[in-house]
Structure 1
């Protein structure tokens, strides 16, 4: 099912753990103009992060205004994708990465446009459903594998939100399994070890030195023969692959779409991830399910934020 959306330009803003990006989106094509990015300053105060977001939005609108032929060329609506829980009413309900106090109201007051908030994984999945690797697909599961880990089920072109809007978890709850001697249970949260930030912590806990480019350095080290880097990557891919396989066992989707920095990577992580996914699908006739990289890359969040603003419940 194709969701009918306006061709009026919409402001899309993607707030991530590592970057803040925004642009003017044509919702009929997914094209982005006046794209602007800055690093996310995670270690400043929440109010300063909100101010940074507001500054990026103002810059995009200033650039758009210079190029506009009239008011009809300017966005009147903005969608903001955030790396947090967002309920069905568009309210942020968590502070996993950072608080964003008064974000919607501040952007609305500063720009005069209406504002809608959405969880970043649902926004990205919506963009993939309309313009990316999830096109012409009745059901697919989108997994955002990056600094954190989350997922969205898409049904007939729309992300499934759940009763309250929180249907994005698959690696954030503690799991318990018996130790090898069956003497006790070992309890762990998969995301704490298998996400990009979790891999960095695992590397450090196993004695690794500081990583110059974060988790990206692990692939370089592994390809150069570093056995510690290889073990961290393989363990993270093993854990995540088994969880994705369990999701496939539960939902039986038509395809899998991987987004985020880890999800879109090529190398040892991707190789091992896919091996563990396919090896742990219960019904072997489903083991050849398509596993695709997100077609829109890092732009999916901006595009999906804009689409979500127009298609809000």
Structure 2
């Protein structure tokens, strides 16, 4: 009998691009990565068509293990339940994605929430190695999180334990005459920051938050205000998660989480300032080691771990 393959295919579906590669399950190394833009404004089935076609372009590594993949995992920016079924379409619909991939892949296919996939990869091969209890926050176009216990993301009773900034919150206005409601992600995410900049009178940003950081470096008060407000809101929420979960460390992933500019500095300041138990305020705050490869690696790991 042939030994099980040492490789699986990982697919990371993001807001701006889709990436796929063969992944060595033993050490997390990737073969050549195939990338395409995410056609968010195309017809309903277009993104699924693109994903299915992309898998065929991923180059398998040489050797007998590459004859067949052990599985195919696809990380998506949506809710995924414990059975691996995609249960939301907040970013874009993915009708029949798992079924379409199963028909062409010749291997078991598993969908997973992108934040859990990335956290799993960091736990196995990245900044979470050897840590029994860490919280992973994906900060980018959107915001989500997962708690990792003993090397595994905690999915919750139904698979939906990824939210920390998407629910409406309400606080009193300055004179306490009424409550003002807002969704934190609308202000603290990358897309939220870009919208807030424009709502405050700024011209559209050609490179999103990167352009905002550039404006802030030049001393633009509007840019400084948007970054301060976003970091303040996001930092307070992460600190509240620390107060609730008491993890050993925090790992930040995503474009904003891995950034090195003013936003990242302000974010860390706000996190540490709002941790209730001061002896925990120096909690290790790490940047994800695997970068944009985390979703691909984690998707491949999740596909095989679920068998």
TM-score, with length taken from structure 2:
0.97
SS in 1 for 2:121: helix
Q: Which runs of 5+ in 1 are unaligned?
A: 1-5
CA distance in structure 1 between the aligned counterparts of 2:5 and 2:51, rounded to whole angstroms: 25
CA distance in structure 2 between the aligned counterparts of 1:69 and 1:285, rounded to whole angstroms: 52
CA distance in structure 2 between the aligned counterparts of 1:173 and 1:200, rounded to whole angstroms: 20
Mark the CA change 1:36 to 1:46 in structure 2 (over 3 Å): closer, same or farther.
same
Shift of 1:69: 3.9
Map of 1:1-313 to 2, 5 A cutoff?
A: 8-60=6-58, 63-64=59-60, 68-70=62-64, 72-312=66-306
CA distance in structure 1 between the aligned counterparts of 2:63 and 2:177, rounded to whole angstroms: 72
Shift of 1:70: 4.1
CA distance in structure 2 between the aligned counterparts of 1:296 and 1:82, rounded to whole angstroms: 17
CA RMSD of aligned residues (A): 1.2
Render the CA deviation track for 1:123-164: whole Å, top value 9, x for unaligned.
Answer: 000000011111110100000000000000000100000000
CA distance in structure 1 between the aligned counterparts of 2:22 and 2:82, rounded to whole angstroms: 24
Shift of 1:230: 1.1
CA distance in structure 2 between the aligned counterparts of 1:231 and 1:312, rounded to whole angstroms: 45
Shift of 1:226: 1.2
CA distance in structure 2 between the aligned counterparts of 1:72 and 1:110, rounded to whole angstroms: 16
Shift of 1:55: 1.4
More displaced stretch, 177-186 vs 35-44:
35-44
TM-score, with length taken from structure 1:
0.95
Mark the CA change 1:160 to 1:199 in structure 2 (over 3 Å): closer, same or farther.
same
CA distance in structure 2 between the aligned counterparts of 1:294 and 1:70, rounded to whole angstroms: 32
